[in-house]
Amino acid sequence: MTTSVHKVRTHYDEVAEVYDHRYDANRGKFYYNHISRHVMERFPKGGRLLDLGCGTGLFVRHYVNEGGEAVGIDISRGMIGKASDRCCSSDFTIGTAEILPFRGGSFDAVSSILAFSYLKHPEKTLSETYRVLRPGGFISICTLGRNLFTRGLPAIYQISEAMNIKKACFGAFGERYYSVEEMDQLLNMAGFSNVQVKRCSFAHYNLARPIYDIAKKIEPFVERNIPYLAYNICASGMKPI
């Protein structure tokens, strides 16, 4: 296990409870549900999903509530414990997205929400994703996007880590912030067709309350007309039939 992987795993084992509360209540829940809807747009109803970096099972729950089956994988034992408690009808396993312990053609859909940025070898993960998808299956990813606002986040994470602030997603892990062009290229090079990449999310839960309220109101306008200002990137593609 590399030092960075161990660091990410240890961090999320420690903040599993904080993470779960952060994204399943109040502003965090609105934010998470918003990006989840963007990810869900490309998926078939009633299929079998693999969620990469499943965290505490929030997206697995969402997919199952829509009538599908879901399996989650995450490197953090603490996150998997929370996910298993939340979605007792689904299976969860501890592991890495770069070596998936599943047979080829096992899934109709593969998702990844706010975990892709941690990958040191995204090409390996996309190759593995392609392998485990059935022909005609879809991948849909929401990851950190690179723009004017997110350029300063690594410095904030480093400061929070130095101050020992135990907040979800606060830590210096060398995350990668992607551009639309980079995600498009990665999915096409992996063999996916019908690739679609767009920016989403402007009302981030970390914004101060007055600014957040304004951001929430204008979020649809920003996503449609000024997408560069959106924080996240959603990328999807299909394994050719």
Would you list the domain boundaries of the chain?
3-238
Say what the pLDDT of residue 23 is. 86
pTM of the model: 0.87
Say what the pLDDT of residue 15 is. 76
Structure tokens belonging to residue 176: 């990668």
CATH fold of the domain at 3-238? Rossmann fold (3.40.50)
Residues (pLDDT < 70) of the chain are: 1-4, 148-174
Single-letter residue type at 60: V
Say what the pLDDT of residue 203 is. 84
